[in-house]
Amino acid sequence: MKNTILTLAGLISLASFSTYSHADDFKKDVAENGVYVGANYGYLKVDGEDDFDDDNDVLQGLVGYRFNKYLALEGSYIDFGSYGNNLSSAETDGYTAGLKVTLPIAERIELYAKGGQLWYSTDYDVVGFSGNKDDEGVFAGAGVAFKVTDRFLINAEYTWYDAEINLDNVSNGSDTETDFKQASIGVEYRF
């Protein structure tokens, strides 16, 4: 009877330790794989060969899915804000979808690069001529993330967006090549 109790106590202890050990692996696995959300706030430089050149604040919300610790699929909504001057002004917002490649370089530091497709809408006003244009372009970016915990990260990133503003309603009907250059800081939470 005494050996049965000791054996039973040993098995319960071993099972408890094993379950606890697997629970830690599950928690770690969830932080490396699965859904994440985030937000960025930063500086936007609108750079082109036109009167829309300006700089202002940019806001971005994002959601993604990590397939493993190296590869993720990410989508975002971006408010590029208003830019231009009194004669030529515009306001742009858009959505992105792209791939994010991450390289862990230390226990708490990750480098990443991302790129993909941008869909955007621009409302513009040029010397009294107003219009709206929906278009698409590409984007590419890179950044560094610092893990505060296994699930909560703070990041700093730089992203370039290729955009074109079509001024259909303006008398010259010109197309303007414009680059949006975003430097931002943000947060990410992994579920």
Chain segment 125-153, per-residue pLDDT in tens? 877 778 888 889 999 999 999 999 989 99
Angstrom distance (rounded) from CA 161 to CA 42: 14
Angstrom distance (rounded) from CA 64 to CA 69: 13
pLDDT at 22: 45
Give pLDDT < 50 ranges for the chain.
11, 14-23, 26, 169, 171, 173
Angstrom distance (rounded) from CA 18 to CA 44: 51
Cα Dmax for the chain: 98
CATH of 33-190, one of 2.40.160.20, 3.40.47.10, 3.90.550.10, 2.60.120.10: 2.40.160.20
